[in-house]
Amino acid sequence: MRIGVNVPNFGPGTDPAALRRWARTVEGLGFDLLMVSDHVVVTPDVAEQYPAPFYEPFTTLSWLAGVTDRIGLGTTVLIVPYRHPLLVARMAANLQQLSGGRLVLGVGVGWARQEFEALGVPFERRGRLTEEHLLAMRAAWEDEDDYRAGRIPLWVGGNSDAGIRRAVRLGDAWHPLRRSVSWIREAAGRMEAAAAELGRPVPALVPRVRLRLTDAPVTDPDRLAGEGTLDQVLGDLEELRLLGADTVVVDPFGTDPRETLHPEAAWRDLAALAAARPPAAAAPK
C-alpha cells in the first residue's frame, strides 16, 4: 500500500524554506505522495483553521516538483468551483508534464461560505458546479491535444452520500477525509451499493487519515484512523488495506495553526511510521 503525506501549505510557520524542508523530509523518508490543500481567499472562516500565508496549490506543487525527484504530488483537496474548469484542466495538464507524470488531483466542493462570497461563486450551487466543472475538465483532457498530458488520477472527496455518488460517477477514486476505520468500512459498503445502482465500476478507496502517535493506546470508541500508538496506527493501515485501499494519505496537522511553527513533532511521527511500514510499492502514476 502506498502512503502519502498531507503537507501544511499555510500558517505562521510556513514559508518557502519550510515547504522545501517538508518536501525533502517526506521524500527522504520514502513516502509515495506529497499533497497540499486549497484556499484562494483567507476569509475569516478560513483563517480560523488555515491562517495566512496560504500558498496556492498549483503554484506550490509546480515549485516542489523542482525540488523533489520522484515523489508523487497532489491536492487534498482542490476546491473545484473556485476556478474556471478549463483553467484547472490546463494547469493540471501543465503540472503533469512539468513533473514527469507525478500529479494526483484530489477535488472537493468546498465548505467556506465567506470565501465563496468573496469569489462571487454561489455557495448553494457548489455541488452542481463541481460536477459540471469535472465533466468539462475531463472533456478537455480527452478532446483537446493542448490539454493532454497523460492520465491524471482524479480523486473525488466528500464524506456525504452525495460525495460518494459523485466519486462513483466522476472519479477514479473516492477520497474520504479524517474518519474512523469503522466509518470508512461502512461508507465503503455504501459506495459499492451506489456503484451497483448506477451501473458504474467501484472507484478505488484512497482515504486521508489523521496521524497522531501517542505513548498509550487511545481507547475512545470514536478514535479517528491514524490516532494512537504506532501499533494502533499500523493496525488501521492494515484494516484499510484489507478494505481495498491501495493508497492512504496521512495528515500530521492537528487543529492548532501554531503547529506549523514546530514541524519537528510531525516529522518524528512520520519517521516512526516510515521505519515501521512494510516495503512501499512504486510511486503512483
pLDDT at 284 over 60: no
Q: Grid coordinates representing 278?
A: 512494510
Confidence of residue 285 (pLDDT cuts 50, 70, 90): very low
Model confidence pLDDT, tens digit, residues 171-218? 999 999 999 999 999 999 999 999 999 999 999 999 999 999 999 999
Q: Residue 78: which domain range?
A: 2-276
Residue 21 within a domain: yes
Q: Is 266 exposed, middle or buried (0-12, 13-18, 19+ CB in 10 A)?
A: buried
Residue 283 within a domain: no
Rounded mean pLDDT, 64-85:
98
> What's the domain count of the chain?
1
Residue 285 within a domain: no
Sorted by sequence, the CB contacts under 8 Å of residue 25 that are 6+ apart come out as 267, 270
Q: What CATH number is given to the structural domain containing 127?
A: 3.20.20.30
The whole-model pTM stands at 0.95
Residue 15 within a domain: yes
Rounded mean pLDDT, 167-174:
98
Residue 111 within a domain: yes
**CA dist 117 to 88, 112, 122, 125, 209, Å?**
20, 9, 7, 12, 30
Contact 251, 210 (CB under 8 A): yes
Model confidence pLDDT, tens digit, residues 113-161? 999 999 999 999 999 999 999 999 999 999 888 788 888 999 999 999 9
CA angle 235, 209, 96 (to 5 degrees): 120
Residue 97 within a domain: yes
At 191 the three-state DSSP class reads: helix
Residue 148 within a domain: yes
pLDDT averaged over every residue in the chain:
96
Confidence of residue 283 (pLDDT cuts 50, 70, 90): very low
Residue 284 within a domain: no
Rounded mean pLDDT, 279-285:
49
